Amino acid sequence: MKKILCLFGALALVLTSCSSDDSSSESADAVLLPKKITETTVEDGQSGSLTYTLSYDGNKLKEISLSDASRSAYTYTGNQITKVELFRSGVLYATEVYAYDGEKLVSKITTREANKTIQDKLTFVYNANGTVNVNQSQIIDRQEIKYDTTTLYTLSNGNMISSELIDGVLVEKITSTFDTKKSPFINITGVKALLDLDFNTGFDFYSANNTVKNVTVTYSSNGAVTQTATVETKYKYNNSNYATEIFSGDARDSYKLEVVY
């Protein structure tokens, strides 16, 4: 999960990873969708929580509502997500529009209601070796300005195994190791094609399995390693091998997700 990195990115944590089965009456071949996710974080001993409620039309995601009064609404064309509208306290504040070439996402354009003359754009380039570059630019008064900043994704066996942030030079690299159990989001139609769609949650919607270890390495402008942080994650699963609880941390700083299907 990406948000685990946000919480612990500055900490050189090495935890013990383990997994266990959670009692459940679900069958091993059940096709499940997450209906509610409760996120609990502890930072410097202070606890906070946020609840995500997901609604669907079949396997298509209609909306994610958060307990902080924000929500995201999803529009499909066929089986592809082509628009996401983001609301805060019932007020639209941003719209994300996705374009495809066949089955592949080629661009994402974000427009904020506060200033529609400036749009953020991501362009997706699929390399011959199977990696994907996500290039950043802005559209200002209908003129596109391209930047040196790109993210390079390496994909393997249905999972995103590494992510490299490059801003002229390599700034940060995240390498991920996965289990063989099912991601909570694997059955949601259309989300995998979006690669870095995080629904403002920080969840990894691309990968088919669950991250058990992330190693984040940051670099200086001359290429020297400045920090290495390792985060390992514990899981509980139901009888269908879907994650029901995800935990990383200790008594002082931790991150936990509880998933209800």
Kindly list the averaged pLDDT for each block of 10 residues, start to end, along the chain of length 261.
42 36 61 97 92 97 95 96 95 96 95 96 95 96 94 93 93 95 94 73 84 93 93 94 94 93 97
pLDDT of 198: 58
The token pair at 15 is: 């935890």
Q: Quick one: DSSP state of residue 242?
A: B
Ordered DSSP codes for 209-236: S-EEEEEEEEE-TTS-EEEEEEEE-EEE
Count the residues in the chain: 261
pLDDT of 65: 95
Sign of the C-alpha dihedral, residues 203, 208, 210, 211?
negative
The token pair at 59 is: 């396997």
pLDDT of 64: 95
pLDDT of 195: 82
Q: 202 exposed, middle or buried (CB, 10 Å; 0-12, 13-18, 19+)?
A: middle
**pTM for this entry:** 0.85
pLDDT of 25: 53
All structural domains of the chain with their residue ranges:
2-260
pLDDT of 230: 94
Tally of CA atoms within 13 A in the half-sphere of 158 that contains its CB: 12
pLDDT of 11: 33
d(C-alpha 211, C-alpha 223), whole Å: 27
